[in-house]
């Protein structure tokens, strides 16, 4: 892991809420895996602690495609300080055929690169958008992705079928209270299945990241009774192993 500089080569608008920054980057970042990310500081001032995780949504010809809210201001030619690669590759089960992705109250940004990887391998993918995630326009996504809109109460059409059909599920949630929202999803999945097996339901933990390389402990998650760092060992963790904010069933 090292600090390098990326250059914004192009900016486009995939939908009404987000922009895509096409970034030329150091060769060390050109083979980022689905699930990995960089810690970015786009400010041109010296602000050593103000980095945020940037999760690529795609890699094109060695360039990272980064998705950011339209409210943030960037310009073509702007340089960005990057630290990476951070985190681990998302691991799919061998022989996986159907994968369910859920974005709850947040944009599905961290799910998009894993979705593209699966599509390239002819794996069927469904993306469920819940609550505020339904504001995210999806016309730019590959047509093979089945997109389903649900509500704030974690309901969506054909829920029993989509949950039963999925070999694995990956979830991202609003960072306002990440552990509580993961617990809500865990509880709902438990209502729709007899049991939640290991290596089935994963949460992508993103909140609180400040350094990206294991120094600040801000991204600590308790997994199997021990503390793990989302920036080093995540950001995807098996939710059956995570001690969440409330125990499933407590509502
Ligand atoms: S972000 Fe600092 S230890 Fe993970």
Q: Which structural domains are found in the chain, ordered by start? A: 2-86 (2.40.30.10), 98-238 (3.40.50.80)
Judge whether residue 246 has pLDDT over 60. Answer: no
Whole-prediction pTM value?
A: 0.92
- pLDDT at residue 1 in the model: 78
Q: Is the model's pLDDT at 133 over the cut of 50?
A: yes
Instruction: Determine the distance separating the centroid of ligand 1 and the alpha carbon of 52, expressed in angstroms.
Output: 11
- Ligand 1 centroid to Cα of residue 217, in Å, is 5
Residue 86 CA to ligand 1 center (angstroms) comes to 10
Provide the pLDDT confidence category of residue 243 given band limits of 50, 70 and 90.
confident
- Atom of ligand 1 minimally distant from the CA of 216: 2
pLDDT recorded at residue 43: 67
The arithmetic mean of pLDDT across residues 219-225, rounded, is 88
Closest among 70, 17, 75, 14 to 43, alpha carbons compared: 75
Query: 217 CB under 6 A from ligand 1?
Result: yes
Q: Ligand 1 pocket test: pick from 206, 211, 221 the residue with the most ligand atoms within 8 Å of its Cβ.
A: 211
- Determine the atom of ligand 1 nearest the C-alpha atom of 219: 4
pLDDT of residue 244: 79
User: How is residue 14 annotated by DSSP?
Assistant: S
The DSSP string of 144-193 is TSEEEE--TTS--TTHHHHHHH-SEEEEEE-GGGHHHHHHHHHHHHHHHS
Does the pLDDT value for residue 47 go beyond 80?
Answer: no
Give the residue carrying structure tokens 């970042």.
29
C-alpha 179 to ligand 1 mean position (Å) = 17
Q: Which of 151, 106, 172 is nearest to 133 (CA)?
A: 106
User: What is the percentage of the chain residues whose pLDDT exceeds 90?
Assistant: 73
Residue 59 has pLDDT above 80, yes or no: yes
pLDDT value for 209? 84
Cβ 25 under 6 angstroms from ligand 1: no
Distance 152 CA to ligand 1 centre (A): 30
Cβ-based neighbours of 209, under 8 Å, separated by 6 or more = 39, 52, 53, 218, 219, 230, 231
Ligand 1 and 218: CB distance under 6 A: yes
Q: What are phi and psi of 180, to 5 degrees?
A: -65, -40
Q: Between residues 236 and 250, which one has the greater pLDDT?
A: 236
Instruction: Please check whether residue 108 is in contact with residue 135, taking contact to mean a CB–CB distance below 8 angstroms.
Output: no
For residue 4, pLDDT over 60 is answered with yes
Helix (H) / strand (E) element for 59: namely: strand 56-60
Do the Cβ atoms of 104 and 181 come closer than 8 Å? Answer: yes
Average pLDDT over residues 158-176: 94
* Token pair belonging to 78: 């702007």
Residue nearest to atom 3 of ligand 1 (CA): 214
> With a 6 A CB cut-off, is 211 part of the ligand 1 pocket?
yes
On whether the CB atoms of residues 126 and 132 are closer than 8 A, the answer is: no
Over range 231-240, report the average pLDDT.
Answer: 92
């Amino acid at each position: 892991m090292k600090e390098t500089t990326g250059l914004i080569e192009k900016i486009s608008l995939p939908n009404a809420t987000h922009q895509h920054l096409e970034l030329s980057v150091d060769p060390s970042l050109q083979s980022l895996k689905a699930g990995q990310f960089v810690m970015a500081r786009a400010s041109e001032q010296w602000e050593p602690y103000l980095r945020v995780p940037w999760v690529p949504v795609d890699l094109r010809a060695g360039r990272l495609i980064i998705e950011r809210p339209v409210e943030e201001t960037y310009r073509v030619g702007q340089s960005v300080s990057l630290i990476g690669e951070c985190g681990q590759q998302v691991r799919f089960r061998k022989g996986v055929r159907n994968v369910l992705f859920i974005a709850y109250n947040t944009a599905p940004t961290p799910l998009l690169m894993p979705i593209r990887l699966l599509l390239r391998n002819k794996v069927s993918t469904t993306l469920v958008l819940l609550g505020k995630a339904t504001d995210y326009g999806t016309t730019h996504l590959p047509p093979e992705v089945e997109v389903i809109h649900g509500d704030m109460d974690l309901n969506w059409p054909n829920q029993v079928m989509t949950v039963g059909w999925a070999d694995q599920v990956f979830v991202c949630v609003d960072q306002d209270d990440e552990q509580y929202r993961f617990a809500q999803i865990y509880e709902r999945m438990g209502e729709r299945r007899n049991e939640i097996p290991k290596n089935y339901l994963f949460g992508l933990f993103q909140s609180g990241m400040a350094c990206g390389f294991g120094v600040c402990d801000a991204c600590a998650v308790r997994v199997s009774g021990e503390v793990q760092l989302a920036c080093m060992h995540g950001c995807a963790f098996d939710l059956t192993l995570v001690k969440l904010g409330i125990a499933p069933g407590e509502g």
